Structure 1
Amino acid sequence: MLGQIGKQRRAARLIDPRTRRGFCIAFDHALQLGACPGLTRPEESLDQMAEAGVDAVILPLGSATRYGARLAGRGGPALILRLDQTTMWREGTPLAYADGHSRLVATVADAVALGAEAVITYLFVGHNDPDVETRCVEMNAAVNAAAREAGIVHIIETMGARGARAKDVFDPGFVAFHTRIGMEMGADIIKTDWPGSAEAMRPIAAALPVPVMVAGGPGQGSDRATLALVGEVMESGAAGILFGRSVFQAKNPLGVMKACRAIIHGNATVEEAMARAGL
C-alpha cells in the first residue's frame, strides 16, 4: 500500500495527473555511445531543461551523481535513473555484435538514494539468440520487483532488437506486441518506438492501461520537423515524449524545449509553439 502511494506521487512528477501528459528528455546517450555531440556541456543543457519546464530527464549513474544537486537547486527536472547499459546502438559500427547485449550498471537502491522519481530499463525483443532475450526479460523482472518494493516508478523501454528477427522494428503490429509484454511485466510507463503515424499509434496507446511515451531517435532533420512529430505524437493519444538527440542536438535546444512544452502542456499548434519560443 505504501509503495503504491509512493509510485503515484513520483509518477505525478513525470506525467501531470490532470492532463495525463508529460515532457521528458533522454540524456543518457553517453552511457551507450560514449562521446556524443550535444553532451559536451551537460550543465548548460540541464539548466536549459529547467528553464524550459521539462518534467523529467533520464541520466546515467555518473551524471546523476555529479549533477543531481544541480537539478534540485534549479527546481527540476525530476530524475529518471538509467539502470542498464546496452551495445544495441552500435549496429553498423566495428564495435557491434550480432546481438545487442544489455546489463545492469546501477540499482533501484541507487535511484532511491539519489532522490529519483523513476528508473528505466530496456526490454529488447526478437534477438537472434533467444538466450539474450531471456536475460533481458529476467533483468527487467528483477528491476520491477525492486521498484515495487521501493515504491518507485519503473519505465520499461520496449523496442525491437535491431538487426535481428523483426524485419521492420517500427511495424505497428510489432510495436503493439512488445509494448503489451512490457506492460504485463509490470511497467508503470512504457517508452517505445514511433510506429510511423498517429493513426498507427492510436490503437497501441488506447490498448494499454499505462501511459505510453515515444522515443525520438537520432533526429528529424530540422527543428520544425521535430516539433511536427511532437504534435503528431500528442494527437495519437500517447502521454508524451522522451526525446533525446532531436532536442539536445537541435539548432536551438532551448527554443525547441520551450516549444515542446507549449505543444504538450499548452495544447499549442506547431506554429504557435514556434512563435512563442522565438523559433
Structure 2
Amino acid sequence: MDNSNTHIGKSIRLERIFNRITGRTILVPLDHGVSVGPIYGLVDLRETVNSVVDGGANAVLMHKGLIRCGHRGAGKDIGLICHLSASTSLSPRPNAKCLVGTVEEAIRLGADAVSLHVNLGDDAEIDMLRDMGRVCTDAAFWGVPVLAMIYARGKGINQYDPEVVAHCARVGVELGADVVKVPYTGDIESFARVVEGCCVPVVIAGGEKLDNTEDLVRMVHDSILAGGRGLSIGRNVFQADDPKLLVRVLRGIVHEDWELDQALERLKG
C-alpha cells in the first residue's frame, strides 16, 4: 500500500474529529450500554446524538451494533468513532477488556476512527496491551486513527496520580495511538506535565457522573489551559439536564477560548 495514501487517509479522518482551526475536539462516548445496560440518556440514541450535534460536538463514539441505532439519515453530520473493546459490570473481572470488533468492520460501518480501552495494572494487562498493539498495526495499514482510553485500575493504584496518568498517556503514544484519553489529574500544573510527555493529542475523561456541572466545566477549562486538546466525556454530557446547552458551553471553552466566568454564566441558560 502507498504510504502517502495511508498518511492522507488518516489526516482526512482526523480532520473530521478535530477542529481544523483549534486542533481540539469534543467527543461524546455512548458506549456505556455494554458495561451497564440501557441507562438514562442512552435509550433513544437518535435523540441523544441530535442533542450533542446541535450543541456542537465533533464526534460520537459507540460500539458497532449501536451505529445503526444512532444513524439519523439527515441533519448536520458528525464524526464517528467505533469502539472495539468491551467488558460488563456483571463480570468478576470488569476491568479486563477484550476485543469485540476490528478495524475493517469499523471502516465498513463508515467510522472515521476506532477506539479501545486498556486498564493498566489489571491482571489482564498483558492481553489488553497485545490487543492494542494489534489494533494500532491494523489501523495504521488502513489509515484509520486510533483513540486509546488508558487508565490505571490495578489494586492499590491511584488512577489520578499525575505520574500514573503520565505513564498511561505515554503507553498510548508508544504503542501507536493517535489520540490518548486519560483522567484529569486535578490541577493545571500536573496535567501540563502529562501533556508534555505525550506527542499526540491528549483528551480528558469525564469519569463518574458529577453532582455539580460547574465542576465539569471548570475541569474542562483547566485542562485546556494545561495544553489538553479537548474532551471525551459521556455520562456527564448525555445525562445532563440539558445536553445541548452543556455541549454548547463546552464548545465555547474548547473551540472559542471562553473564560471560565463566561462559560459558567452561559451554563445558566
Structure 1: any 5+ residue segments left out of the alignment?
none
Deviation, structure 1 residue 167: 2.5
Gaps of 5+ in 2: none
TM-superposed deviation, 1:96: 4.7
Contact preservation (8 Å) 1:255, 1:278? no
Alignment correspondent of 2:35: 32
| Structure-2-length-normalised TM-score | 0.93
Shift of 1:99: 6.3
Secondary structure at the residue paired with 1:14?
coil
Aligned to 2:24: 21
Paired residues of 1:189 and 1:211 also in contact (CA < 8 A): yes
Q: CA deviation at 1:219?
A: 2.3
Alignment CA distance shift 1:29-1:261 (3 Å) = same
Q: Distance in 2 between matches of 1:274 and 1:197?
A: 18
Please name the residue that 2:106 is paired with.
111
Tell me the equivalent position of 1:220. 210
| Deviation of the 1:224 alpha carbon | 1.8
Q: How many angstroms apart in 2 are the aligned matches of 1:178 and 1:228?
A: 23
1:62 is aligned to 2:65: yes
Question: Are residues 278 and 76 of structure 1, via their aligned partners in 2, closer, same or farther at CA, if it must alter by over 3 Å?
Answer: farther
Separation (CA, whole Å) in 1 of partners of 2:264 and 2:93:
42
**Secondary structure of 2:9 counterpart:** helix
Equivalent of residue 238 in structure 2, options 241, 248, 252: 248
Deviation at 1:24, TM superposition (A): 1.0
CA distance in 2, matches of 1:227, 1:107: 34
Residues paired across the two proteins, number:
266
Q: How does 1:256-271 map to 2 (within 5 A)?
A: 256-271=246-261
Letter in 2 for 1:76: D
Q: Distance in 1 between matches of 2:77 and 2:260?
A: 25
Cα displacement (A) at 1:97: 2.0
Within 5 Å, give how 1:171-182 maps onto structure 2. 171-182=161-172
Q: Which of 118, 122, 133 in structure 2 is aligned with 1:123?
A: 118
Matches within 5 A, 1:135-174: 135-161=127-153, 164-174=154-164
CA RMSD in angstroms comes to: 1.6
* Aligned AA (2:182): T
The one-letter code of the counterpart of 1:185 is L
Amino acid at match of 2:45: P
Percent pairwise identity: 27
Kept in 2: contact 1:26–1:59 (CA 8 A): yes
Q: What secondary structure is seen at the aligned counterpart in 1 of 2:16?
A: helix
Confirm or deny: 8 A CA contact 1:223 1:251 kept in the other structure: no
1:108-140 per-position Cα deviation (integer Å, ceiling 9, x unaligned): 11111122111000121111x3xx111101111
Deviation (angstroms), 1:175: 0.8
Q: Does structure 2 retain, via aligned residues, the 8 Å contact 1:262–1:273?
A: yes
Map of 2:78 onto structure 1: 77
Q: Does 1:229 align with 2:219?
A: yes
